[in-house]
């Protein structure tokens, strides 16, 4: 009750102050305070805050083996008995307090000194060169995002990577031929452009915060090859020429119904899209501070529209629960399934937040896709520059054998060569959930053995089969529409099979159409791969049997050849370089469990199995080991470059003080308001200065006039100080003389009787 009343009072004060400023600058970022409209919003914030977290008293400071003192919150441990697809424990988003007993563990470490002025405790003051504040396992975009953010906050960070190059899935390899060097990228081929400054793309927001960027070339759509023909998905306004509505007119059996249903779906998502934009992923953290960092952006909107709170469950629900009652037309349903499939599931299983983001961001006026110049390693290089700029370090060829613990707290890592590196504050694992579990010993902390067993049962999505081609680029064919091919193409072989069926969806990327620098002159690179649906068990059965392995490879690659042949007829005669990558290759070089695309945890389940609120379908960042957190594409919000980058930022935000995180959000979300307020304050200050000077001038003139009038009447200071037997009052200043003096004219004589 006290918290609710205090929050209400603070909100009213803030709104009143804003309302006062409105009169000065004629700007109204928030509505005027109306208690009846304010209370629902406040209650929403309080309810969400109570659900998200419950604070715990700090325990007494303890020391690690190096004598470094740290202070941590108490850990509420306990392995989940909750439901899930084979998952027991691991935690759910922001679950804590009573829910934590069911949904896993909670971690929050707080440094005794976070001030930059406390130089003795800051990273550069650590005397042991083999000792860091935070060690991050894996240099994927999630780990680098986390490391760069922590380094910018002044922490001493080390990122260790098992491979000989950074990036994880976002790395490339080269092949040299007499014609030149071919650079093939292993990672993602479909990326959203970063050109929109107002975008809530986590990659854009993290790079902006770090002060980094990379060069790219934009394009506005991708080709789709399905059993019913070729069609193109164009980003940007739906009603534009070639946009979504034109596509529906061309491909739908009932175009009018399809367009009307699409409009109805967008209308249904209008309110939740505003909430999604108001609270981007980078505003989240896994502790009680999330109440403030999410409320900074959401409270103003919820005060305006308190009824919007009923839309919040859509963010976590399966998208088919949202689209199903509205979308009935066949092609529109297939289109939504294809968009959803980038998360690894069709609409049935895709978390609502992902599709709310896509349908909102992909159809803004300046929306587009992008090819990073130099391939996806350009993203990695930008994050690595930010890491080094903040004083962080990257150590390659450093495979971790064990996460070290002391008294149940993560204290460092041991590499396969026996080297031990100490972490005074914590360890963050960017490896998958299965690989992270393998790095912990059963005795490392209470509950670890049970947690490892539950995590090992987490179902995995399929893996990826690759075909890398270097082809002669002369006279590449045009698309069926007579236009230049898009760099990204998608082949759907059979609508009657689920999209997640092995080898039913094939992705074809031709990045050299826009970036010719990664291939010899006049050549093109074609990257063909299955979209995370290849069964690993099939390949595991031939591991070690070269003859069986080669036969299986030839059989399974034929589908990829057929897909690229459909887009580039006669491509087999053009090939100059051919490299294949099987799931076994994927697992070996990327150090990923079964080379998996990520955990197979579909959205749509109910909280506790019966409540109308959806549960969080993805794993969170905490573990039973204090000081050990996780990030990357096997945690919330899931696979994909933007999602993995967001996971790293969320973990880093959890580890920095809440007020630093809140200040960054204020700078980003209310920069325009802050600038206007600063302008208003400057205007008021200037006005006060001018008024002060004018008042001073008037006072001086009054004093001068008063003195002149007394002199004219013979009443001076000497007269006033001389003894007198007849008491008399001093004469008032003469009005005529005063008026003449203020008016800038010479004082005139006046009748003393007046």
Q: 68, 422 in Cβ contact below 8 A?
A: no
Find out whether 173 and 184 touch, Cβ atoms under 8 Å: yes
* pLDDT for 295 beyond 90: no
The Cα 368–Cα 512 span in angstroms is 18
Q: Nearest Cα to 226, choosing from 510, 497, 572?
A: 497
> What whole-number distance in Å separates Cα of residue 331 and Cα of residue 337?
10
pLDDT at 582 over 80: yes
**Mean pLDDT confidence for 698-719:** 70
Is residue 469 included in any domain, yes or no? yes
* Predicted local confidence at residue 6, as pLDDT: 56
Collapsing DSSP states into helix, strand and coil, what is residue 563?
A: helix
| CA atoms of 650 and 644, how far apart (whole Å) | 10
pLDDT tens column, 21-77: 443 333 333 444 444 555 555 565 555 555 544 443 333 333 443 444 333 322 233
- Report residue 296's pLDDT band, with 50, 70 and 90 as the boundaries: confident
pLDDT one-digit tens code per residue, 361-406 = 999 988 999 999 988 899 999 999 999 999 999 999 999 999 999 9
Q: How confident is the model over 247-276, as a mean pLDDT?
A: 93
Q: In this predicted structure, what is the pLDDT of residue 704?
A: 81
Eight-class DSSP state of 582: -
Within-domain flag for 53:
no
Q: What is the pLDDT of residue 677?
A: 67
288 band by pLDDT with thresholds 50, 70 and 90: confident
Identify the band that residue 199 occupies on the pLDDT scale cut at 50, 70 and 90. Answer: confident
Distance CA 401, CA 408 (A): 18
CB count, 10 Å around CB of 30?
Answer: 17
**Which of 11-15, 625-629, 639-643, 662-666 has the weakest average pLDDT?**
11-15
The pTM score is 0.73
Mean pLDDT of 341-368: 90
Residue 492, SS3? Answer: strand
Using one digit for the tens of pLDDT, what is the confidence trace for 177-197? Answer: 999 999 999 877 788 888 777
Question: CA–CA distance from 734 to each of 78, 563, 686, 748, 749 (Å)?
Answer: 89, 103, 35, 10, 10
Nearest in space to 628 (alpha carbons), one of 403, 334, 414? 403
- Has residue 349 been placed in a domain? no
Do residues 460 and 634 make contact, with C-beta atoms less than 8 angstroms apart?
no
505 belongs to a structural domain: yes
pLDDT of residue 218: 92
In the chain, helix, strand, coil percent, each to 5? 45, 15, 40
- Quote the crossing angle between the two packed helices 290-304 and 658-669, to the nearest 10°: 30
Sequence-separated (6 or more) residues with CB below 8 Å from residue 137: 143, 160, 400, 403, 413, 427, 428, 429, 430, 431, 436, 439
The neighbouring-strand residues paired with 599 are: 460
- pLDDT grade for 122, boundaries at 50, 70 and 90: very low
C-alpha 264/C-alpha 270 separation (Å) is 10
On whether residue 457 sits in a domain, the answer given is no
Question: In which order are the strands placed within the sheet that holds 109-110?
Answer: 62-63, 69-72, 109-110
Beta pairing, strands 191-192 & 369-372: antiparallel
Query: Is 489 inside a domain boundary?
Result: yes
Instruction: For the chain, give the mean pLDDT.
Output: 79
Q: How many domains does the chain have?
A: 1
Residue 543, domain extent:
463-583
Averaged pLDDT, 152-156: 94
Is there a contact between 642 and 113 (Cβ–Cβ < 8 Å)? no
- Give yes or no for residue 162 having a pLDDT over 60: yes
185 in Cβ contact with 520 (< 8 Å):
no
Q: What does the pLDDT read at residue 20?
A: 42
HEC readout, 424-452: EEEEEECCCHHHHHHCCCCCCCCCHHHHH
Higher pLDDT, 742 or 548: 548
In this structure, how many other beta carbons lie within 10 angstroms of the beta carbon of residue 542? Answer: 17
- The per-residue pLDDT for 702 is 84
Q: Are 79 and 88 in contact (CB under 8 A)?
A: yes
In a domain, 557, yes or no: yes
Given pLDDT bands bounded at 50, 70 and 90, which one contains residue 670? Answer: low
Average pLDDT over residues 572-577: 93
What pLDDT, in 10s, does the model give residues 477-499?
Answer: 888 888 889 999 999 999 999 99
Residue 603 has a pLDDT of: 87
Whether 41 maps to a domain, the answer reads: no
Average pLDDT of span 520-541: 93
CB 80 within 8 A of CB 622: no
Helix or strand or coil: residue 653? helix
Judge contact between 646 and 445, C-beta under 8 A: no
The CATH number given to whatever domain includes residue 506 is 3.30.519
């Amino acid at each position: 009750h006290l918290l609710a009343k205090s929050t209400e009072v603070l909100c009213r004060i803030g709104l009143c102050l804003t309302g006062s400023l409105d009169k000065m600058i004629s700007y109204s970022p928030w509505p005027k305070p109306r208690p009846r409209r304010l209370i629902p919003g406040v209650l929403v914030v309080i309810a969400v805050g109570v659900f998200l977290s419950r604070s715990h008293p700090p325990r007494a400071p303890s020391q690690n083996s190096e004598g470094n003192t740290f202070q941590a919150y108490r850990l509420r441990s306990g392995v989940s008995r909750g439901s899930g697809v084979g998952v027991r424990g691991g935690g759910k988003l922001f679950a804590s307090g009573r829910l934590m007993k069911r949904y896993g563990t909670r971690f929050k470490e707080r440094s005794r000194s976070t001030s930059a002025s406390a130089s003795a405790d800051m990273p550069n003051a650590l005397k042991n060169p083999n000792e860091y504040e935070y060690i991050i396992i894996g240099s994927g975009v999630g780990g680098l995002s986390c490391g760069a953010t922590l380094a910018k906050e002044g922490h001493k960070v080390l990122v260790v990577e098992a491979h000989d190059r950074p990036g994880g899935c976002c790395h490339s390899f080269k092949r040299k031929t007499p014609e030149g060097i071919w650079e093939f990228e292993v990672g993602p081929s479909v990326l959203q452009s970063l050109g929109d400054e107002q975008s809530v793309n986590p990659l854009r927001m993290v790079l902006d915060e770090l002060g980094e960027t990379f060069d790219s070339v934009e394009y506005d759509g991708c080709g789709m090859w399905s059993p019913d023909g070729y069609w193109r998905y164009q980003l940007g306004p739906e009603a534009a020429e070639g946009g979504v509505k034109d596509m529906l007119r061309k491909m739908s059996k009932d175009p009018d119904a399809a367009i009307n249903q699409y409009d109805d779906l967008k209308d249904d998502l209008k309110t939740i899209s505003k909430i999604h934009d108001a609270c981007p992923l980078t505003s989240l953290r896994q502790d009680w501070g999330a109440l403030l960092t999410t409320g900074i952006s959401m409270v103003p909107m919820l005060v305006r529209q308190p009824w919007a709170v009923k839309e919040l469950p859509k963010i976590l629900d399966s998208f088919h629960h949202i689209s199903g009652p509205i979308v009935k037309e066949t092609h529109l349903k297939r289109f939504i399934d294809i968009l959803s499939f980038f998360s690894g599931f069709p609409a049935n299983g895709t978390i609502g937040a992902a599709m709310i983001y896509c349908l909102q961001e992909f159809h803004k006026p300046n929306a587009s896709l992008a090819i990073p110049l130099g391939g996806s390693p350009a993203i990695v290089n930008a994050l690595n520059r930010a890491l080094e700029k903040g004083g962080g370090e990257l150590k390659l060829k450093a495979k971790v054998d064990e996460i070290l613990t002391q008294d149940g707290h993560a204290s460092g890592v041991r590499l396969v060569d026996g080297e031990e590196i100490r972490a005074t504050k914590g360890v963050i694992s960017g490896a998958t959930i299965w690989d992270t579990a393998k790095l912990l010993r059963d005795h490392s902390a209470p509950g670890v053995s049970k947690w490892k067993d539950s995590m090992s049962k987490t179902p995995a999505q399929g893996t990826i089969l690759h075909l890398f081609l270097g082809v002669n680029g002369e006279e590449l064919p045009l698309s069926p529409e007579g236009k230049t091919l898009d760099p990204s193409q998608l082949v759907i072989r059979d609508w009657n099979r689920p999209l997640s069926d092995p080898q039913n969806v094939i992705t074809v990327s031709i990045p050299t159409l826009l970036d010719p620098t990664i291939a010899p002159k006049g050549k093109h690179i074609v990257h063909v791969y299955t979209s995370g649906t290849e069964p690993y068990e099939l390949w595991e059965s031939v591991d070690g049997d070269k003859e069986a392995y080669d036969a299986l490879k030839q059989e399974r690659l034929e589908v990829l050849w057929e897909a690229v042949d459909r887009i580039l007829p006669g491509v087999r005669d053009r090939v100059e370089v051919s490299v294949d990558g099987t799931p076994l290759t994927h697992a070996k070089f990327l150090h990923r469990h079964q080379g998996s695309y990520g955990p197979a945890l579909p959205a749509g389940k109910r909280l506790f199995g019966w409540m109308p609120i959806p549960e969080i379908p993805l794993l969170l960042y905490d573990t039973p080991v204090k000081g050990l957190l996780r990030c990357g594409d096997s945690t919330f919000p899931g696979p994909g470059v933007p999602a993995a980058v967001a996971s790293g930022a969320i973990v880093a935000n959890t580890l920095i003080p809440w007020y630093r995180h809140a200040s960054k959000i204020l700078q980003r979300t209310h920069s325009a308001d802050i600038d206007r307020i600063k302008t208003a304050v400057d205007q008021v200050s200037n006005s006060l200065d001018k008024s002060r000077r004018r008042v001073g001038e008037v006072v001086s003139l009054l004093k001068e006039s008063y003195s002149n009038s007394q002199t004219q009447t013979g009443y001076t200071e000497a007269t006033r100080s001389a003894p007198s037997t007849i008491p008399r009052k001093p004469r008032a200043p003469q009005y005529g003389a005063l008026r003449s003096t203020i008016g800038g004219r010479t004082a005139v004589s006046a009748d003393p009787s007046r």
